[in-house]
Chains A and B, each alone.
Chain A
């Protein structure tokens, strides 16, 4: 399966990404690849640096060291600077000499969308508005055109697209509800809808099944597979529900204390002694 996957072009490639907060190494030399149309799992115990990895990929934090490529096109690159120069003790010192740090909005424009671990919807706006706003990234009209409604054709397309997305995600019945009044599971769906509205090639899901019961997370699992096919996406997801991860992921990366300890297919990961040790500890 892995050989098969390698033939596909990769969408995301993270090389030697290190994130240090002062002396704390949250992410240590992470190397990761997501190929086209793959669903990749990123797992690890609490505090392993999974969400930090997401934040580095989406440009929330500029990495201390390392580079990130989207479709083989560099979007982020940094090397230790200032105080970090003395603190950084990685083996890739000097390997990355270019500095390029895009802000999150520009990375989204390049085709990376994400959801958040602790749901971050536009709280007081309706479900419909939440999805509509996310399409602002595609807008071509300037302020004057938009104000004078000269881009009404573009607007109409945006409205139709919003309805289509809500239909697909099963939120069409609740489209006029205030987003926070939805039940938890629906809010997660809405976050995904909002992310899809930005026309991504790569979708980062941060614990999409958190707080869901087994039946709900089972539904979510099928749902993630479906959107991958429908929207021609590559997906990188953090998840704690092993049932979900093992069920849909093509490959899995395991993080512990900021370092990658294993990667491979679900079957390989389940047998890997290092992973078992990280999750369960060793027998004394």
Chain B
């Protein structure tokens, strides 16, 4: 008998210790990156981007993956957060330089907010906009909702670049001299806090209601879940964290303009959440890191490469994205539901994954695979024998029929003659 593999669970204290160790490792890693002990400032930049995209990715996953509402408005909410942080954190003496075509409006000229307050305000403003547009458009379904939200994010971008908004947003000239991060801890901690809050929400009763809506709207409604209220809730929370993420992005880039918040950003986020798995927080974080690092480290393909003096013709700027897309296609083909599907990272999963290998090895040693194959072969052979016997008898029957036919014909012929 081949033995069954039984999933074992780790006890709670072990899991707690492992989690604490992981958190500690993250803190140490952040510290080392921050102090330049490992990596370069280039690596730090990529980590910052990855962390910010993780936050925005999880916020988008909350709506798309957990609530099952296909929304593509994330870039718009990011723009609101980014501009809020940008406008209110540029130092007063640098403002004349930034708003050089049209001076900044008097009302906000001397008004500077600390980074934290501006960030929070950006998030709240994005949430407010989400609440306002959510009321009419969340009644739409799937593709129509996607188009409506896409339209909304384009409107935000157009409004920002609009001439009348120049005294506030500096229009298409964009904002620069936004004070950047002085430490890597700020974005990491803010993102971690945001993601933790969203995970807590997902694991609460409200989060379960979101999942119910994703699975079956009619059933969810007849179980007493108010569809609109819950969709709106998830949409607003998502917009809030997208706004925060946008604010972090503005601080990271130190210069922003409205063209940075085109649909392409939303698509990139969509890529992150689909690749990581719609409905998986850890998947989103993993894929945000993978994509951020992948896009940078694939730059190798953009540079000209030569073998022994012969320049390979396909290595030219643009190949990076081709390779990147091919890798994505491969991932989507082999992991159809993204890297993590709807599962989350768990210590039990890791533990069983590593237990499974020695188990397979033991099975191989005991010759279980051989006996399995043997029984399989035997059953196939038995099946074949039955088949061949059946076909033999059929063939014999057919032969008999034919001879009988021939004899009959002969008789008929003979009669005719």
Number of A-B residue pairs having CB atoms within 8 Å of each other in the complex: 94
CA–CA, A133 and B224, complex, Å: 10
Kindly state the interface size class of chain B when it binds its partner. 20 to 34
Q: Do the beta carbons of A148 and B216 come within 8 Å of each other?
A: no
Residues of chain B contacted by A198 (CB below 8 angstroms): 223-224
Structural contact, B224 and A122, CB atoms closer than 8 A: no
Query: Does B233 count as interface, using CB distance less than 8 angstroms?
Result: yes
B225 touches A137 (CB 8 A): yes
Q: Is the CB of A122 within 8 A of B200?
A: no
Bound-complex Cα distance A42 to B189 (A): 60
What are the interface flags for A118-138 relative to B under an 8 Å C-beta threshold, 1 for contact and 0 otherwise?
001111110001001111110
Does chain B have a CB within 8 A of A116?
A: yes
A123–B208 touching, CB < 8 Å = no
Select the residue from A113, A120, A132, A141 with max chain B CB neighbours within 10 A.
Answer: A120
Contact: A105 with B226, CB < 8 Å? yes
Distance in angstroms from B57 CB to nearest chain A CB is 19
Contact between chains at B215 and A108 (CB < 8 Å): no
- The interface bits of chain B over 225-258 (1 if a CB of A lies within 8 angstroms of the residue's CB, else 0) are 1110000010000000000000000000000000
User: B209 within 8 Å of A by Cβ?
Assistant: yes
- The reply on A147 being an interface residue by CB < 8 A is yes
Given contacts A105-B225, A143-B233, contact A122 B201 (CB under 8 A): no
With both beta carbons as reference points, the residue of chain B lying nearest to A139 in the complex is identified as: B205
Find chain B residues with CB under 8 A from A137 CB: 223-225
For chain A, give the interface size range: 35 or more
A104 on the interface (CB 8 Å rule)?
yes
Interface of B is mostly: helix
Q: Across the interface, which residues of A come within 8 angstroms of B206, CB to CB? A: 136, 143, 146-147
Does B342 lie at the interface of the complex (its beta carbon under 8 Å from any beta carbon of A)? yes
Closest-CB distance, B227 to chain A (whole angstroms): 7
Closest CB in chain B relative to A134 CB, distance in Å? 5
Q: Is A149's beta carbon under 8 Å from chain B? A: yes
How far is it, in angstroms, between the C-alpha of A129 and the C-alpha of B226 when the chains are bound? 18
B223 lies within 8 A of A133 (CB): yes
Once the chains are docked, how many angstroms separate the CA of A129 from the CA of B216?
14
Given contacts A116-B219, A120-B218, A148-B200, contact A108 B208 (CB under 8 A): no
Whether a CB of chain B sits under 8 angstroms from the CB of A226 is: no
Q: Could you tell me if B208 and A104 are in contact, using CB atoms closer than 8 angstroms?
A: no
- B221 — which chain A residues lie within 8 A by C-beta? 103-105, 108
The reply on A58 being an interface residue by CB < 8 A is: yes
Residue-wise, chain B 208-220 has the 8 Å CB interface mask toward A (1 for contact) of 1101100110111
Interface pair B201/A136, CB less than 8 Å apart: no
Q: State A141–B206 Cα separation when bound (angstroms).
A: 10
When the two chains form their complex, are residues A155 and B205 in contact, meaning their CB atoms are under 8 A apart? yes
Interchain CB contact under 8 A, A129 and B223: no
Q: Do residues A124 and B342 form an inter-chain contact, with CB atoms below 8 A? A: yes
Which residues on A sit within 8 Å (CB–CB) of B211? 122, 125, 129, 133
* Pair A194/B200 contact, Cβ less than 8 Å: no
Give A134-160 as 1s and 0s: 1 = Cβ < 8 Å from B's Cβ atoms: 111101010100111101000100100
| B222 contacts partner chain A, Cβ-Cβ < 8 Å | yes
- Cβ of B371 within 8 Å of any chain A Cβ, yes or no, is no
Given A105-B227, A135-B205, A136-B205, 4 more pairs with CB closer than 8 A: A116-B219, A133-B225, A147-B200, A149-B204
Write the residues of chain B forming the contact surface with A, with a CB cutoff of 8 angstroms. Answer: 197, 200-201, 204-206, 208-209, 211-212, 215-216, 218-227, 233, 342
Sorted nearest first, the 5 A-B pairs with minimum C-beta distance are: A137-B224, A108-B224, A122-B215, A146-B204, A120-B219
